Amino acid sequence: MKKLFLFFIICLFSGVNPCFSAPNYTYSTPGNYNFSENTTNNAPEEKILFIVDFSNSMNERLGHRTKLDIAMSTLKDILQQMPKNAHVGLRVYGHRTGFTPKQSCTASQLISPIQQNNTANIYAKLSSINAVGWTPITYSLKQAAFFDFVDNESKKRIILISDGGENCDESPCDFVIELMKYRDDIRIDVIALSIGDEDANNQLKCVSLVTSGKFYNANTAAELKNSLQDSLNLQKDVQGVIINK
């Protein structure tokens, strides 16, 4: 501190211009993503993308209903509570199978691009999807991060609902660690729907922790609903189960 103070005093009285010049920083980003600085005072509204698990395990029963039925009915209920002008979209994975592991591990699709007044469209599309495939979480996060958010200036939030961990040869935790080295505009909230596997839970906790998101354990329809309401800052009926970072 003494050296910095002495340097400032010398510059102040010597009139050396470099003392007051802005430093010249060079930023490097991947070729498939470009940043643009937001120079307005009004920050763009947050963009929200649901990523929903449609892998075959979602057909397993949780009480008297399948996980898929619980997830779909709860998500439809939540969509009706969201503001009509919210910027929201839907990506799904595991909704189709393939003849090769590569096909199964790339079975992820942006069903409804992020846009305003989109909740009714998402609501309608949810009813036409079947749970049949694998769990390519990492591939889905990559597609979402690099292609689904077209506005580079806005804050971006992913809400991932999954009943299992990655079963393709990738790690969602490793991916988000690398992503956060040059991205600070994405937050990922994760809802683990009745996941009993500790390694899978740890991988998903990592995804939320690294991106400053929230991690929820939901073992009932009520907990899933309240987890979504908490994530979206909607009014809750009862308290959900939140895992603190």
Q: Residue 21: inside a domain, yes or no?
A: no
Q: Residue 116: inside a domain, yes or no?
A: yes
> Which of 57, 120, 149, 133 has its CA nearest to residue 92?
133
Name the residue type at position 180. M
Range(s) of the domain holding residue 117: 45-243
Q: Residue 136: inside a domain, yes or no?
A: yes
Residue 20 binned pLDDT confidence (cut-offs 50, 70, 90) = very low
CA distance 222 to 219: 8
Q: What is the pLDDT of residue 176?
A: 98
* CATH code for the domain in which residue 236 is found: 3.40.50.410
Q: Tell me the pLDDT tens digit for each residue of 118-161.
A: 999 999 998 889 999 999 999 999 999 999 998 777 899 999 99
Q: Residue 211: inside a domain, yes or no?
A: yes
CA distance 6 to 81: 59
Q: Provide the number of structural domains found in the chain.
A: 1
What mean pLDDT do residues 49-59 have? 97
